Structure 1
Amino acid sequence: MSADRTTTPEGGTHLFTANGVHYSLVRELPGEGPGERVLAQRHSPGGPGGLAVIKCLPSTARVAERRRMLEEVRVARRLDHPSIARVLHVDTRAKRPLVVMEYVEGLALEQVLRRAVRRHRPVSERFAAYVIAQAADALHHAHTLRDGHGRLLHLVHRDVSPSTLRVSKHGEVKLTDFGAVFTRLSCRQRTPAHTLKGAVGYSAPEVLSLGKPEARSDLFSLGVVLVELLTHVHVLDLPDERTVPALTGGFQRLLGKLWPEKGAWADPARIGERASRLSAGDVEKVMANVSAPLRAVALRALRVEPTGRHATAADMRDELRAYLAATGQPYGPREVVHEVHEVIVTASQARGEIETSPEHIPHEFRNWRPVRH
């Protein structure tokens, strides 16, 4: 994208103009995979129009990479849900294909989680239940999406993790980045053999063994995130190397032969073995101090066999919302903003330091004030 940049009279960096909207560079964003990701300010004749994330492939992008971006766009344009980031503009025919996505101003869930770990206290059970319920609602919309002829598309996100879930400055929960999406569209770009899409550390065992992803694979990923939020334990993290069990069956054959697009902390075959051995006892032990209703949700989501999990994302959502209703106290966007603020403040106090982050933290999180009635 750097080749397309020019300096504006105001001293800013103009990237491009599309449909009368000017995009200027704010900062580059970290990311994995081919191409660049930048944060841009949108300018229309009426003034600034908010921020956007621009994903741009290099001019040397392979045909498969261009087709993959086109598939992501086709899927994302069909999605219309308040908890899913929107596509704002697409240009796949340009020398450097790009897609412009809604930027969810706030923090990635992984940023909130890191601060909670720093203060040695997890987020509240209600925060975890609310966030995961909203994510499940978004996934239900994606999983039940149909094409123009009414045919189910069988979408699977494949990259559900704390890095693709964001909490906005207004307390909204948004599922982002459908770049690893699996679909049964007739023109879909097939994943190369032995390549793993998405965040390997949150993947279901059937995905890690190269089986066909399904909607309930995303629910397994949500279960891993739920446990991590409530306990700061990653249930698929490997034990001490001295106690790592020998690989068995299919995972022994896959050792050293799986290629994660996003990287992983260990060989994916070893993570897959851990996922395939995950038992109810393992989950119960980790969640011993978590309330029974949320323990039950995690236990069901993390069943090794997909048929043992919630039948749909809506079922998982409804269980979590039933738990929230049973607490007898409202929990929504306002409470989310308050809790993120508290996590940021207490994390800084725990270290006796001023909060710093490479990611901008909105003042709504830094300076939260209760609404007076």
Structure 2
Amino acid sequence: MSADRTTTPEGDIHLFTANGVHYSLVRELAGEGPGERVLAQRHTPGGPGGLAVIKCLPPAARMAERRRMLEEARVARRLDHPAIARVLHVDTRARRPLVVMEYVDGLALEQVLRRAVRRHKPVSERFAAYVIAQAADALHYAHTLKDGHGRRLHLVHRDVNPSTLRISKHGEVKLTDFGAVFTRLPGRQRTPAHTLKGTVGYSAPEVLSLGTPEARSDIFSLGVVLVELLTHVHVLDLPHERPRTRLSGGFQRLLGKLWPEKSAWVDPARLGDRASRLHARDVEKVMAAVSAPLRAVALQALRVDPAERHATAAAMRDALRAFLAATGQPYGPREAVEEIREVISMASQARGEMETSPEYVPHEFRNGRSVRH
């Protein structure tokens, strides 16, 4: 994108103009995969129009990468849900194909989790239930989306993890990044053989064994996130589990032959073996200090057999919202912001220093200003 940048008289770095909206550079963003990601300021005829994330492929991008970006954009433009980041503009015919998406000004759940680990105390059960329920609501919408003829598109996000869930500075939960989406749209880009999309550490066993992803694969991923929020333990990396020299089932044949698009801490076949052997007693042991209703939600979401998981993401959402209702106290965006402030403050105190992370943290998470809804 750098070759397309120009400097305006005001000193802003102008990136491009589309549909009467001017985009200027704010800062570059880290990200995996080909091309660049930058944060940009939108300038409309009426003034500043908010921030946006621009994903831009390199000029020499392969045709497969262009088609994948087009497919992501085609899917994302159909999604209209308050808990899903919106696509604002797509240009796949330009010299440098790009997608412009809504920027969720806040923190990735991964950043909140990292600070909770630093303070040696998980987030509250209500925070975890609120965030995962909102994510499940977004997933149910995506899973049940239909085309213009009323046919189900069978969308599967395939990359549900703490980095693709964001908490806005106003406490809203947003599901982001449909770059690994599976769909049955006509002309969809097929995944190359033995290639794994998404973050494999959160993938369901049927995905890791190269089976067809389904809606309940996303539910498994959401269950992994739920357990991690409540315990700081990743269920595919259990502290009491000993490494196996020989894998079970077909995973021995897949050892060294699975190619994750995102880096993994261990061979994906070993992760698949662990996921396929995940037992209820393992989850029970890790979640011994968690209340029974939330343990029950996690246990069902993490069943090895997809048919034994929640029938839909909506069913998982409803179970979590029932837990929140039973607490007798409201929990929503305002409470989420207040808890994130506390997590950041306590994490800093645990290190005996001010919050000095190089990551951008909105001031709404740093001080006592009121939260706008």
Give the TM-score category using the shorter length.
over 0.9
SS at match of 1:78: coil
In 2, Cα distance between the equivalents of 1:232 and 1:238?
Answer: 11
| Structure 1 contact 7–14 (Cα < 8 Å) conserved | yes
2:48 maps to 48
Residues 109-118 or 29-38, more deviating: 29-38
In 2, Cα distance between the equivalents of 1:68 and 1:149?
Answer: 24
2:151 maps to 151
Residues 350-359 or 67-76, more deviating: 350-359
Unaligned stretches of 5+ residues in structure 1: none
Q: TM-score, normalised by structure 1?
A: 0.98
1:293 maps to 293
In 2, Cα distance between the equivalents of 1:137 and 1:364?
Answer: 25
Classify 1:185/1:226 alpha carbon distance in 2 versus 1 (closer, same or farther; 3 Å): same
SS at match of 2:41: strand
Mapping of 1:174-213 within 5 angstroms? 174-213=174-213
SS at match of 1:249: coil
Counterpart AA for 1:212: T
Counterpart AA for 2:297: V
Classify 1:238/1:267 alpha carbon distance in 2 versus 1 (closer, same or farther; 3 Å): farther
CA-to-aligned-CA distance 1:225-269 (integer Å, 9 cap, x gap):
000000000001265896435212210000001010011000000
| Structure 1 contact 24–42 (Cα < 8 Å) conserved | yes
* Cα offset, 1:350, TM superposition: 0.5
Classify 1:253/1:90 alpha carbon distance in 2 versus 1 (closer, same or farther; 3 Å): same
Classify 1:370/1:64 alpha carbon distance in 2 versus 1 (closer, same or farther; 3 Å): closer
2:315 paired with 1:303: no
In 1, Cα distance between the equivalents of 2:370 and 2:177?
Answer: 32
SS at match of 1:58: coil
In 1, Cα distance between the equivalents of 2:301 and 2:213?
Answer: 15
In 1, Cα distance between the equivalents of 2:344 and 2:238?
Answer: 29
Classify 1:133/1:241 alpha carbon distance in 2 versus 1 (closer, same or farther; 3 Å): closer
1:315 maps to 315
CA-to-aligned-CA distance 1:171-192 (integer Å, 9 cap, x gap):
0000000000000111100000
| Structure 1 contact 182–213 (Cα < 8 Å) conserved | yes
Counterpart AA for 1:181: V
* Cα offset, 1:357, TM superposition: 2.4
Classify 1:309/1:39 alpha carbon distance in 2 versus 1 (closer, same or farther; 3 Å): same
1:357 maps to 357
| Structure 1 contact 159–180 (Cα < 8 Å) conserved | yes
In 1, Cα distance between the equivalents of 2:17 and 2:68?
Answer: 24
2:139 paired with 1:139: yes
Classify 1:273/1:30 alpha carbon distance in 2 versus 1 (closer, same or farther; 3 Å): same
In 2, Cα distance between the equivalents of 1:305 and 1:356?
Answer: 44
In 2, Cα distance between the equivalents of 1:267 and 1:85?
Answer: 31
* Cα offset, 1:81, TM superposition: 0.3
In 2, Cα distance between the equivalents of 1:43 and 1:198?
Answer: 33
* Cα offset, 1:358, TM superposition: 2.9
CA-to-aligned-CA distance 1:23-56 (integer Å, 9 cap, x gap):
1111111111111100111111221111100000
| Structure 1 contact 85–176 (Cα < 8 Å) conserved | yes
* Cα offset, 1:369, TM superposition: 4.4
Classify 1:287/1:242 alpha carbon distance in 2 versus 1 (closer, same or farther; 3 Å): closer
CA-to-aligned-CA distance 1:56-98 (integer Å, 9 cap, x gap):
0111111111111111011001101000000001101101000
1:337 maps to 337
In 2, Cα distance between the equivalents of 1:245 and 1:274?
Answer: 12
2:69 maps to 69
SS at match of 1:96: coil
CA-to-aligned-CA distance 1:111-130 (integer Å, 9 cap, x gap):
00000000000000000000
Counterpart AA for 1:86: R
| Structure 1 contact 108–167 (Cα < 8 Å) conserved | yes
In 2, Cα distance between the equivalents of 1:329 and 1:221?
Answer: 28
1:122 maps to 122
Q: What is the identity percentage for the equivalent residue pairs of Structure 1 and Structure 2?
A: 86
Q: TM-score, normalised by structure 2?
A: 0.98
2:229 maps to 229
Classify 1:209/1:239 alpha carbon distance in 2 versus 1 (closer, same or farther; 3 Å): farther
* Cα offset, 1:163, TM superposition: 0.2
Classify 1:121/1:368 alpha carbon distance in 2 versus 1 (closer, same or farther; 3 Å): same
CA-to-aligned-CA distance 1:212-231 (integer Å, 9 cap, x gap):
00000000000000000000
2:286 paired with 1:271: no
In 2, Cα distance between the equivalents of 1:61 and 1:370?
Answer: 45
Residues 61-70 or 132-141, more deviating: 61-70
Residues 159-168 or 58-67, more deviating: 58-67
In 1, Cα distance between the equivalents of 2:36 and 2:238?
Answer: 32
In 2, Cα distance between the equivalents of 1:65 and 1:121?
Answer: 41
In 1, Cα distance between the equivalents of 2:281 and 2:353?
Answer: 39
